[in-house]
Chains A and B, each alone.
Chain A
Amino acid sequence: MNPALWISKTGLDAQTKDIAVISNNLANASTIGFKKSRAVFEDLLYQNINQPGGRTADDSEAPSGLMLGAGTKVVATQKIHTQGDMLTTDNALDLMIQGEGFFEILMPDGTAAFSRNGQFTMDEEGNIVTPGAGYLLQPQVTIPEDALSIVVSQDGEVSVTLQGQAEPAVVGQINTVNFVNPTGLEPIGQNLYTETAVSGNPQEGVPGLEGYGMLVQGALETSNVNTTEELVNLIESQRVYEMNSKVISAVDEMLSYINQQL
């Protein structure tokens, strides 16, 4: 059948995927710590119909050949790890990483996951846990029952003021981890990421030191989705989709014309 039909089909497929990525970004525009994704397009392989430089006669060569491209495809979705904006909440257990780094979260199966969402809360034993599923923050920090107030310093030191004590007591240290290639992390939902072969190994460090972003207490990082940009992308994808479907209908008309005329 006509190659143009299949080429346009790849265009339609790719735009559909792009719109899915855009809609996921828009749906998460107010998710704390969310990092936007973008679809990466690549042109598919070209098929040589006539080789350029092929002999056309004894003394002449074709100066240019005919290579038909096979369309486009989405090769990857890239997470864009730029910093989101700061949202102050004054909640003692709201933490934001200003700069690079991830919080390490202990999953129920014992593996580690990583997050930029700093909306922490406490479980019944006073451990700092994630708000949704209640996974433990690593290294584990336990807040004593009689703590009056919690202070998290820029370098991750957690101290509490206890009833009847003037000096605050240090109860733990929150470390963050960095990755060589955060784009290579695999998002698994629940604002969590897991390590992959391309992300590199997690490197634990003290926040605020040696390239690790510092912690800000009482603030959250908003998602880095730029809604205007997403809407512009949406318009573009929708129109490109329409144009590709137009090609399909044009080919369809041509084929039906053959059937009618001949």
Chain B
Amino acid sequence: MDKMLYVAMSGAKQNMQALAINANNLANAKTTGFKADLAQARTMQAFGEGQPTRVFSMTERASQNFDSGSMLTTGRSLDIAIKGDGWFAVQTPVAFNLATQVGEEVLGPTSNEAYSRQGNLRLTEDGTLETANGEIVLGDNGPIVLPLPVSNIHISPDGTIMVQPEGAPSSEQEEVARIKLVNPDVRLLEKGNDGLFRRKDGQVELSDANVKVQGGALESSNVNPLSEMTDMIALQRQFEMHLKLMKTAEEVDASSAALLRAF
């Protein structure tokens, strides 16, 4: 059988997987703080004897697009958006162990601190600040718990949470905590299976005073529908070309069989 058929088939299969990444980006075009995944293909040689023709492709989710999404103003006091670069820290359930052991090495993060830009926060009944997905928001000194009851919550640009205790005059603003804001090099970050970002080396990032937040706003998803649609069309056409090659392989095969029959 011709190797060409397998090479073309691997191409078509990898196109399908790239399309899945594409579809996931488009499905999350309205998810707050979502960062679009970038798909890339890599050559995987399988050279043996003879001509070095067998080069398969492998689709990878290389990284994410870390551009900021647009700001949506909501006016809700517990909505925050990070201005420019940066993340806020959240604590994921301990049970969610993302580390994978490969041989003797432990790959992936081992701490349960993760970074997010999904700023639709809420309070639990005991005053703990958490994201809409239920991860506890971390301050510079651990989880943030507001002293209840409070009547006014204000999140200042440096991430400090000011509250007005219930019944206190409006001049009396109490500082509760500062949201842990970090700004790691994006090359060190990777997206976990829960959609949150962590450092690849498992280290905990130190807080950065230069990261600014905007209260009363949310960051939209940074998926660019136009480029996703274009990528999708390109993938679809490339897929068709792979199939065309598979068809050609079949035809070549059929004509050599016919040739053999002629003798």
Interface residues of chain A, those whose CB is within 8 Å of chain B, are: 2-5, 7-8, 10-11, 14-15, 18, 38, 40-56, 62-72, 75-76, 78, 80, 82, 100, 178, 180-181, 183-184, 197-200, 203, 209-211, 236-237, 239-240, 243-244, 246-247, 250-251, 253-254, 257-258, 261-262
Contacts and interface: CB of A to CB of B under 8 A. Distances in A.
B192 interface: yes
B19 A180 contact: no
B28 A43 contact: yes
A181 B123 contact: yes
B21 to A, nearest CB: 6
A42 B240 contact: no
Interface in B185-216: 190-195
Contact of B122 (A64, A69, A78, A262): A78
Nearest to B21: A68
B132 interface: yes
Interface stretch (B47-55, B80-88, B176-184, B228-236): B228-236
11 contacts: A7-B27, A42-B133, A49-B17, A52-B107, A180-B127, A180-B149, A211-B149, A211-B164, A250-B236, A254-B16, A262-B246
B120 A257 contact: no
Given A45-B193, A69-B21, A243 B29 contact: yes
B104 interface: no
A44 B246 CA distance: 35
B125 A184 contact: yes
Contact of B26 (A46, A197, A211, A244): A244
Contacts of A3: 16-17, 20, 23
Secondary structure class of chain B's binding surface, majority of residues: mixed
Nearest to B165: A211
A155 B118 CA distance: 39
Nearest to A200: B125
A170 to B, nearest CB: 24
Contact of B132 (A5, A47, A49, A75): A75
A158 B195 CA distance: 54
A62 B43 CA distance: 12
B31 A46 contact: no
A178 B149 contact: yes
Given A2-B19, A258-B243, 10 more contacts: A8-B26, A14-B27, A43-B24, A64-B40, A66-B61, A68-B17, A68-B24, A72-B31, A211-B166, A262-B247
Contacts of A257: 239-240, 243
Contact of A40 (B20, B34, B132): B132
Contacts of B132: 40, 42, 75-76, 78
Nearest to A226: B75
B158 interface: no
A243 B26 contact: yes
Contacts of B193: 45-48, 67
Nearest to A83: B75
Contact of B28 (A41, A78, A236, A261): A41
A71 B28 contact: yes
Interface string B7-47: 00000000011011111101111111010010010001000
B30 A237 contact: yes
Given A64-B61, A69-B37, A71-B24, A250 B30 contact: no
B225 A243 contact: yes
Contacts of A53: 100, 102, 105, 107-108
Contacts of A38: 74
Given A66-B60, A180-B148, A181-B122, A261 B20 contact: no
Contacts of B148: 180, 200
B146 to A, nearest CB: 9
A240 B74 CA distance: 20
Contacts of B168: 211
A101 to B, nearest CB: 10
Interface in B243-258: 243-244, 246-247, 250
B124 interface: yes
Contact of B24 (A7, A42, A183, A211): A7
B195 A69 contact: yes
A40 B17 contact: no
B244 A65 contact: no
A69 B107 CA distance: 20
Contacts of B58: 50, 66
B173 interface: no
Given A42-B132, A45-B193, A257-B240, A65 B124 contact: no
Given A3-B20, A72-B27, A66 B149 contact: no
B151 interface: yes
Contacts of B225: 239-240, 243
